[in-house]
Amino acid sequence: MTVNVKEVFDSMTYGPAPESSAEAMAWIKEKDGKFGHFINGEFTAPTKGFATRNPATGEELAIISQAGKAEVNKAVSAARAAFPKWSKTKGHERAKVLYALARLLQKHARLFAVLETLDNGKPIRESRDIDIPLVARHFYFHAGMAQLMESELPDAEAIGVCGQVIPWNFPLLMLAWKIAPAIATGNTVVLKPAEYTSLTALLFAEICVEAGVPKGVINIVTGDGKTGEAIVTHEDVDKVAFTGSTSVGRKIREATAGQGKSLTLELGGKSPYIVFEDADVDSAIEGLVDAIWFNQGQVCCAGSRLLVQEGIAEEFYARLRKRMASLRIGDPLDKCIDVGAIVDPVQLETITNLVKTHGGDGEVYHAPCDMPVEGCFYPPTLITDLHSASPLMQEEIFGPVLCATTFRTPSEAVQLANNTRYGLAATLWTENINLALDIAPKLVAGVVWVNATNLFDAAAGFGGRRESGMGREGGWEGLAAYTKPKTTAKKLAPVAPIAAPKSPVVDGLDRTAKFYIGGKQARPDGGYSQPVYGPKGHLLGHVGIGNRKDIRNAVEAAHKAAGWAKTTGHLRAQILYYIAENLSARAVEFAARLDEMQPKSKKHNGKAEVEATISRLFTYAAWADKYDGQAHGVPIRGVALAMKEPVGVIGALCPDEAPLLGAISVMAPAIAMGNTAILCASQAFPLAATDFYQVLETSDVPAGVVNIVTGDHADLGKTLADHMDVDAVWSFSSTPDLTATLEAASASNLKRTWLNQGHARDWFGKDGEGREFLGHATEVKNIWVPYGE
């Protein structure tokens, strides 16, 4: 056949460029197509299991063993046995192991890429050029983290045994995101790959042996959801890391409630892709190809909600449809293919049904691409004219389906973008850098890409807000998920209020402390109060018994004060200094109150507690304008700005054992970072907090920034944890058995929790202040800003 070069350039057609699967199939054949688990440094004999198939053809690739409780127990035991030695291994020795893994991944890069494509269905170009290089990058990066941990994180240590469950959309990359930071910081791992896509995890297990990973440090067990459940709920697992759907993440939060496990969840998303009228339209459309049709749209941060400014919408849609028509769908091993196969017939059916059921809400356009006859394929799809409440605009489809609507103004774009329960990622396109840097901080998302999309690097943490999960993976912030402060935890004994004496001493006028809500003193909604007695039998006053309506009012007031987050750190510092000044002026009075409330002992000294409280306020006034973000050194011509942002509305159960110092140690870091706070005062000695609202009233604290309620910690804590408009719950209460209740209730909106787990904290020492508090008071948003022509 004669090739006419001019015709080729006119048509821009591509001939096939198939990648050989021979080496990958030979590797499978070496194992007789059957795989056991990798436990304690060696493979177990294959057992009864399930088939993993090539989604592009439906052909069986191998049989994967199904792990039960016995196999999970064996893997966790191996990890537990390996932990003491591995956690004490010098950082340099751990770094050498991570470096060896990175080098071996590079040496076997082609085999990993082909195997990933065979098992997952993604185009070989993506596996070869994106996934595998990023996998190696994570191990290189965390080799450096292991090397630096002793010098840069001297007060941190490994958590223990990490149970990790990863999804099928990026099988090897998710493995790297989980395993690399875990073992770099001295933890040991039990990881379960996705049922559909286990093969590259098992190949990785092989190179662990070649890299000299000590036995038991990395264990890989395969199986279905029951296997994952057995891992995350195992009593000897200290840390759980999960990537997957929000619904499963919520179940994990509920299942692990009260078990004392550290938890990070990287969950679903419905990420906005915002195109302003001054955008480079051609670039924005090419960005959309990567945002929604990369990996067949099976990406948690896929730009699946297209928001186009009204003035360019019709032109943009027309050019987008034209570009969609040129996308190539077919054999993922063909290097000329743009869109590969959906991972499994079940997922294909889910996508198909969602579009059939709700596509009528808008106008559906399927790209007129040549579709393969066999295999799991779905055409690139655009659905326009959708209203913001349409299920297709709210629910994660997890397929190559783009849902679109329009906006008129930048403020409307922000409202539409944030109109979802998710908060994983966002993309915005504009040639106006002022507009870009104005909009990006307003988007509720863990990652924002400016004039780019789907940029990832090990140096820049990735993770979401709201129901997109909690915690970050990658970067310095990602290490926090795999370390804990070096402390000797002591059990916290319940602190009970002073019981009513037989003959109480009543001096002076009756005194009833009110709540402090929205900058005003407020009576309890329920109309109930309780007496507060001193150790010498004096009736010191009465405090209100708060209920769910009081919490509701406090939450509403806290949200009305949202402008506090936009104030400067300098202003917040000034107000904290002013609070300290006004407390200092009344130091003698507050010291006397503390002394008359608490039994006399070496632990309780009113004057010392007031002085420590003033110092604590100075500490967070100092931090208010100094807890900076950073510019990550990512491999683009540009920067990834890691911005520290407030969590939002924080509900806190204040310590009982240090009623004034404890309350301020919770309040000050929260408001210093721009949050608003609802403080449930010490249940045993509440008057310390209710006296303090008089200081707040005279210290220029805006209404609603700090709200104070008194009452039963169990009732108030449960209400805070249940509340959908509370973003985080902290508990330092001495009330027993609160942890399980609060963690289970927090699953309603997957709010952040920071709970004392029944352990005491020295509020007068270094454990009572510092970066740990600031870290829990902030979220990190990475804004990627490319620059240059």
**Residues carrying an active site annotation:** 266, 300
Beta-strand ranges (E) seen in 196-333 are: 218-220, 239-243, 262-266, 272-275, 305-309
Cβ-based neighbours of 412, under 8 Å, separated by 6 or more: none
What are the helix (H) ranges across 407-481?
A: 410-417, 433-439, 475-479
Structure-token pair, residue 522: 């407020």
The DSSP 8-state label assigned to residue 505 in this structure reads B
CB of 101 closer than 8 Å to CB of 203: no
CB of 219 closer than 8 Å to CB of 40: yes
Report the distance separating Cα 471 and Cα 266, nearest Å. 7
Cβ-based neighbours of 596, under 8 Å, separated by 6 or more: 534, 536, 538, 540
Report the distance separating Cα 65 and Cα 202, nearest Å. 11
Report the distance separating Cα 192 and Cα 190, nearest Å. 7
CB of 192 closer than 8 Å to CB of 222: yes
- Residue 412: burial class (beta carbons within 10 Å; 0-12, 13-18, 19+): middle
What are the helix (H) ranges across 395-540?
A: 410-417, 433-439, 475-479
Q: Which residues of 60-78 are buried (b: 16+ CB within 10 A; e: fewer)?
A: ebbbbbbbeeebbebbbbb
- Residue 786: burial class (beta carbons within 10 Å; 0-12, 13-18, 19+): middle
CB of 279 closer than 8 Å to CB of 287: no
Report the distance separating Cα 541 and Cα 534, nearest Å. 10
User: Phi-psi bin for 186: left (phi > 0), alpha (psi -120 to 50), beta?
Assistant: left
CB of 786 closer than 8 Å to CB of 430: no
